[in-house]
A and B are shown apart, each in its own frame.
Chain A
Amino acid sequence: MRVEDITRYAVGALRGYRTRTLLMLLAMAIGVAAVVVLTSLGEGARRYVTDRFASLGSHLLIVIPGRAETRGGAPATLMGETPRDLTIADAMALLRSPHIRRIAPISLGGAPVSHGSRERDSAIIGTNADFLDIRHWSMAKGQFLPRGDDERAAPVCVIGATVRKELFGVQPALGEWLRIGQHRFRVIGILESEGHSIGVDTEELVMIPVAAAQTIFNNPSLFRIIIEAKSREAIANAKQDILNTISARHQGEKDVTVITQDAVLATFDRIFKALTMTVAGIAAISLAVAGILIMNVMLVAVTQRTSEIGLLKALGAPGRNILALFLSEAILLSSAGALAGMALGQLGSWLVRHFYPEVPAYAPGWAVLAALGIAIITGGVFSILPARRAARLDPVQALSRR
């Protein structure tokens, strides 16, 4: 038999039994669409998170007081050991490293902020002038914290848009004084809204010089030091310098933890890739289910078409031809189903992107190819049994039925 005849005959048979054809198409399509949509979600989530994390800044290192145990990962503070304070002087000492460009010490806390009769609780970040550049933030109005000696507590602050609105309403805020705890600060700038930057909402913030924050919170230790290395290549050296400098200043104790943005990014990347693989795997199970469905439907088809098979044998078709006919039917069907499923899946991820534009939900190429491949192979493999049954039918028995 010619290949084009086998194909034409198989297509004819598929069109002759519309209900079962549509059912099988649907089963395959749903399986493939599930793989495409779920992996596009996984991939979208991965890119969403890593993009956000990358937007923290470039070549960042973060110094946290307390040593991460090599095994546990919890800083020593949690283990009951009291580390030495991480001070502003420690932070400034790090600037001597040739691999470090900028440093922003950070002191973090919350306090009531008031202006006249209006008051709200707000997150307070104490830091220095370099913070703005390290985080790539910008100002809506006025100035950021002034440059100068970080140990000096100038009574100035920069506030976010929400804080401004709640404390000042429609009144101008720049140049006005507000009260944080027992201290008075003059508003010198309003932060630009940065959308959803990881960890903080700039609109809800009040920022003051780090030394002032330490006074308010009555805590001489920094919460973090954010460091920008001179380049990507400098990150490793910067980390080494940080550990050496701190250890020299802390009587030989390397009692800080340094995490690099790259390492965190890589970790996120790994986690989300694993997640994507997992959902792809789960979705692929639906393809196997579709395969079993195909097997059943093909078995029914063989029973339904017993006399047709007997006839083909009487007309001179060897078992091999019958096998080829039924296999091509199943493979054509699963290919069509797979393609339909891919279209459906792409539509699905388009809808995700349409309704959640911030999530770049594109199914990775490997997932799409794997879904197509698995669908077609499953269709073929699961129809081997029915096709062989057809090929082995006894023609006399097959023809004895009307």
Chain B
Amino acid sequence: MIILDGIHRAFQVGDQTVHALNGVSLRIDAGEYVAVMGPSGSGKSTLLNVMGLLDRPTAGTYHLDGHDVTTLSDEQLAATRRDKIGFVFQFFHLVPRLSAAENVELPLMLAGVDPTQRKDRVAKALAGMGLADRADHRPDQLSGGQRQRVAIARATILEPAVILADEPTGNLDQQSGRDVIAIIEELNARGIALVVVTHDSMIAGRARRRIQIVDGNVESDTVRETRES
């Protein structure tokens, strides 16, 4: 589904060029569960941003579902993000003045979905996250774990093919972190591909595939033997 080929991403800082990605080639198939690890500053977030079409690579090609997306226009990129990709961020990024339900409704609104259908879908999504009774709460009235679950409901409401999560538990206590992981693994079980950047080896240990990034390169890419469960 995702095919990266020789992806470079360089930043110009003053008269210095910082190479955040140094020729990354990767292939991620539909429904995969991938943990991305690596030291701070190694390029994990940059990789996720490129995969999520938020950032354009300096060189290399990116095929998403068989289409070359490195040449798309701003408008086409936005539409592709909306239809195929769900983001989960370390800092949740909920709009503070909107209620949980309104935050979850945002992608539907941006996609121009008929308002009469939205309420239902939002209610279902929130209920799926165990937040049915929190629909009218604003983010500042929710705990960290609840906020991240609202964000996940928002990321999945348009049924994306892949969820890109950059340290989704980085800002949560252990228990909430575990809840959040359980929820996104459940999504994975339903067939949504999962790419999770994490420092937590316990979480990484649960993923079937682990990619280690160092200095903008894939240092190791290991697939765990399938254990019978």
Contacts and interface: CB of A to CB of B under 8 A. Distances in A.
B63 to A, nearest CB: 20
Interface in A36-67: none
Interface stretch (A99-107, A174-182, A260-268, A313-321): A313-321
Given A395-B54, A396-B54, A396-B55, A314 B87 contact: yes
A106 to B, nearest CB: 76
Nearest to B84: A316
Contacts of B107: 315-316
Interface string B65-95: 0000000001100110111000101010101
Interface string B89-110: 1010101111000000011011
B83 A316 contact: yes
A325 to B, nearest CB: 10
A377 interface: no
A399 B112 CA distance: 23
Given A9-B109, A396-B54, A396-B55, A316 B79 contact: yes
Interface string B141-156: 0000000000000100
A16 B96 CA distance: 9
A233 interface: no
Contacts of A15: 97
B111 interface: yes
Contact of B98 (A12, A319, A399): A12
A1 B110 contact: yes
Contacts of B78: 313, 316-319, 321
A15 B158 CA distance: 28
B52 interface: yes
Size range of the chain B interface in the assembly: 20 to 34
Nearest to B82: A316
A307 B98 CA distance: 14
Given A310-B93, A399-B89, A318 B54 contact: no
Interface residues of A, number: 27
Contacts, number: 70
A17 to B, nearest CB: 8
A307 B49 CA distance: 15
Contacts of A147: none
A312 interface: yes
B17 to A, nearest CB: 17
Given A308-B95, A315-B81, A316-B83, A399 B109 contact: no
Nearest to A5: B109
B102 to A, nearest CB: 8
B112 A2 contact: yes
A402 B90 CA distance: 9
Given A316-B111, A395-B54, A399-B54, A311 B83 contact: no
Contact of A318 (B52, B74, B96): B74
Contacts of A312: 106, 110
A2 B111 CA distance: 9
A123 interface: no
Nearest to B151: A311
Contacts of B106: 311-312, 315
Contacts of A402: 91
A319 B111 CA distance: 14
Contact of B97 (A13, A310, A318): A13
B54 A314 contact: yes
Most-contacted residue by chain B among A310, A319, A396 (CB, 10 A): A396
A311 B55 contact: no
Contacts of B82: 315-317
A316 B97 contact: no
B111 to A, nearest CB: 7
A1 B93 contact: no
Contacts of B93: 307, 310-311, 314, 399
A42 B187 CA distance: 71
Interface string A315-358: 11111110000000000000000000000000000000000000
B150 to A, nearest CB: 12
Contacts of B75: 318-320
A162 B84 CA distance: 94
Nearest to A315: B107
A321 B158 CA distance: 18
A253 to B, nearest CB: 84
Nearest to B87: A314
A281 B225 CA distance: 80
Nearest to B97: A16
A316 B95 contact: no
A17 B95 CA distance: 13
Contact of B74 (A4, A16, A308, A319): A319
A145 B96 CA distance: 86
Nearest to A307: B93
Nearest to B90: A402
Nearest to A402: B91
Interface in A1-45: 1-2, 4-5, 9, 12-13, 15-16
A9 B98 CA distance: 10
B76 to A, nearest CB: 9
Contacts of B96: 16
A396 B87 CA distance: 12
Most-contacted residue by chain B among A12, A315, A317, A399 (CB, 10 A): A315
26 contacts: A1-B112, A2-B109, A2-B112, A5-B112, A12-B98, A16-B97, A311-B93, A311-B95, A311-B106, A313-B54, A313-B78, A313-B81, A314-B52, A314-B81, A315-B81, A315-B106, A315-B107, A315-B154, A316-B78, A318-B79, A319-B78, A321-B110, A395-B54, A396-B49, A399-B89, A402-B91
Given A310-B93, A316-B81, 5 more contacts: A1-B112, A16-B97, A314-B87, A315-B81, A318-B78
